[in-house]
Amino acid sequence: MAVNSMTKWKCKDVETPGEPGRIRKRLFVDLENEDKTSLEQSPPSKKPKLDADQAEQEPLLRENLGRNWYLVIAEFQGETKVHLRVYEEREEDETLYPTKKGISLDLEKWKKLTELYSEEIDDAIERHEAEMPVSYKKHLGENFYVTVETGFSLVNVRKWWMPPNEKDIVPTRRGAALTFDEWEELKCLIPRVEEKIGDQIRSVEYCENSESHQNQMGSLQCPRCNPNEYTKNTY
């Protein structure tokens, strides 16, 4: 299409939203009509991209544990999980959104954490506060562990992994390190969790108590109870 030779044009850069200085596109603008028509409407601000564990609609429960840590119950693809996750506040509207910092537990891991090992964790905290040596570590399933260690006033719920060609598993960045006060707050919220999903929790059976685990081979071949050896044997 022919361009009117009398029209005055200028080059105008459009920056990427949220990234000043990064040019998304370059436009040639009619100076005479620039104020009459909108060049381009700014796209709506996007929410931070979440991973599969964080994808949630309306949480069944969201309660603050302290600092920015929240206990959240959410359903995703038909499975109910309990999240220990950091939430941050959006500047534009002051609403909260979940970050990638945290961990999600299926109901068996949650039940072990709050029922099976709760008293042991409390005992480890008492020893820590009495300045006694503490090296507490319990397996929640797969490569998830809860630990309380000398020198750290934290209940650490974390995913671990086995590096290639190594014999010992190591902690990953995926986890929740709760202060002792936050752990107490978490325990206080257990009745709230029961109100929301108590029937589901009560129906959960520990993997190691299942019929398939009544012999040693059943446990060794279980991806939840013996994940690292199971992974080796599948290759």
Name residues whose C-beta falls within 8 Å of residue 37's C-beta, 6 or more positions apart in sequence. none
Q: What's the average pLDDT block by block, 10 residues per block, for the chain (235 residues)?
A: 51 59 54 47 50 63 96 93 96 91 97 97 98 97 96 97 91 97 98 96 90 74 78 46
Task: Please state the domain extents for the chain.
Answer: 61-105, 107-205+222-233
pLDDT score for 235: 36
CB 61 within 8 A of CB 196: yes
pLDDT score for 11: 57
Distance in angstroms (rounded) separating the CA atoms of residues 154 and 40: 50
Q: Please give the distance of CA 23 from its chain centroid, rounded to a whole number.
A: 33
Largest CA distance in the chain: 89
CB 62 within 8 A of CB 54: no
Give the H/E segment covering residue 187. helix 180-188
pLDDT score for 176: 98
pLDDT score for 214: 75
Fold agreement (61-105, 107-205+222-233): yes
For 111-123, b/e burial (b = at least 16 CB within 10 A) is: bbbbeebbeebbe
Distance in angstroms (rounded) separating the CA atoms of residues 70 and 183: 11
Distance in angstroms (rounded) separating the CA atoms of residues 73 and 114: 15
pLDDT score for 42: 45
- What is the number of alpha carbons within 13 Å of residue 211 lying toward its C-beta? 0
- State the pTM of this model: 0.72
pLDDT score for 221: 76
Question: Domain 107-205+222-233, what fold?
Answer: Transcriptional Co-activator pc4; Chain A (2.30.31)
CB 107 within 8 A of CB 80: yes
Residue for token pair 């399933």: 141
Q: Which pairs count as long-range contacts for 2-9, CB under 8 Å and 24+ apart, including other chains?
A: 7/32, 8/32
Name residues whose C-beta falls within 8 Å of residue 49's C-beta, 6 or more positions apart in sequence. none
Distance in angstroms (rounded) separating the CA atoms of residues 178 and 84: 9
Cα 91 to Cα 20, 67, 96, 114: the distances in Å are 17, 18, 10, 35
What is residue 193's three-state secondary structure?
helix
CATH of domain 61-105: 2.30.31.10
